Amino acid sequence: MTNRDEPQLTRRRLLVAGAGAVAAASGLGLARGRVPRSFAAPAPRPQRQLRLVGTDGWVSHPLPQHPTSWFPDTLAPGEQTTYAFGFRNVTGLSTSDVLAQKGHAQASAPALYFDEGDEVTITITNVGLAVRPDLTDGHTIHWHGFRNAPVLFDGVPENSVAVPIGRDFPYFFRPVNAGTYMYHCHFEDVEHVQMGMTGVIFVRPSQNGQSHGGYTRFAYNDGDGSTGYDREYPLMVTEWWLRSHWNDAHIQESDWTEFTADVWMLNGRTYPDTLAPATTFDVHGVPATAAGDPIDPGTRLAYQPQSALLRGKAGDRILLRISNLGYQDHAITLEGLGFTVVGRDATLLRGRDGTDLSFRATEIDLGPGESADLIVTAPASSGSSGSDAYGSYDAYPLYDRGLRNGYQLAGSTEHTGMKTELRVYGPGSSLPAQSLPALDTPPVPPLV
Partner 1 sequence: MIRTRTRGSTSRPSSPRLRPRPWWLAPVGAAVAIAGIQLSASQKAPAAGAAPVGVVCTTSTSPHASFTLTARDGHISNPDGNSIYTWSLVNGNGAFQYPGPVLCVNAGDDVTITLKNRLPEATSLVFPGQEDITANGATAGPVISGGKLVSLAQTAAPNGGSVTYRFIASRAGTYLYESGTDQDKQLDMGLVGALIVRPAGHPSMAYDPVAGHPVDDSSFNPAAEFVLLLTQMDPALHAAVEANQPFDMTTYRPHYFMINGRSFPDTIAPNNASWLPSQPYSALVEYQAIDPDVGNDPGKALVRYVNAGPVAYPFHPHGNHGRIIARDGRLLVGPAGQDLSYEKFTVDVGAGQTVDTTYQFTKLYDPVTNPVPLAIPPLQNLLFKDNQTYYSGSVYLGKKGVLPVGTTQFNQCGEYYHFMHSHALFQVSNFGASGGGMLTLMRVDPAGGCP
- Contact positions with partner 1 (CB under 8 A) in 393-432: none
Single out the segment in contact with partner 1 by CB under 8 A; choices: 159-167, 263-271, 306-314, 399-407. 159-167
Single out the segment in contact with partner 1 by CB under 8 A; choices: 4-12, 50-58, 60-68, 208-216. 4-12
Residue 253 dihedral angles phi and psi, to the nearest 5°: -85, 155
Is 251 exposed, middle or buried, given 0-12, 13-18 or 19+ CB atoms closer than 10 A?
A: exposed
Does 167 help bind partner 1 (rule: CB under 8 A)? yes
Strand partners, 87: 54
Single out the segment in contact with partner 1 by CB under 8 A; choices: 151-159, 388-396, 414-422, 431-439. 151-159
Does 18 help bind partner 1 (rule: CB under 8 A)? no
| Least distance to partner 1, CB of residue 100, Å | 22
Residues 177-236 that bind partner 1 (CB under 8 A): 181, 186-191, 193-194
Mark 275-299 as b/e (b = at least 16 C-beta within 10 Å). Answer: beebbbbbeebbbbeeeeeebebee
Residues 283-312 that bind partner 1 (CB under 8 A): none
Number of Cβ within 10 Å of residue 381's Cβ equals: 23
Q: Out of 258, 291, 432, 435, which residue is the one contacting partner 1 (CB under 8 A)?
A: 258
Q: Closest by alpha carbon to 323, among 236, 216, 386?
A: 236
> In the complex with partner 1, which residue's Cβ is closer, 165 or 447?
165
> In the complex with partner 1, which residue's Cβ is closer, 145 or 285?
145
* Cα atoms in the Cβ-side hemisphere of radius 13 Å centred on 22: 8
Residues 320-359 that bind partner 1 (CB under 8 A): 325, 327-329, 344-347, 349, 351-353, 355, 357
Does 95 help bind partner 1 (rule: CB under 8 A)? no
Q: Out of 137, 232, 316, 400, which residue is the one contacting partner 1 (CB under 8 A)?
A: 137
| Least distance to partner 1, CB of residue 243, Å | 12
Radius of gyration of the chain (CA): 22
Single out the segment in contact with partner 1 by CB under 8 A; choices: 51-59, 81-89, 255-263, 280-288. 255-263
Does 117 help bind partner 1 (rule: CB under 8 A)? no
Residue 288: helix, strand or coil by DSSP?
Answer: strand
Q: Out of 154, 282, 335, 388, which residue is the one contacting partner 1 (CB under 8 A)?
A: 154
Q: H-helix or E-strand containing 191? A: helix 189-194
Residue 347: helix, strand or coil by DSSP?
Answer: strand
Distance CA 182, CA 344 (A): 12
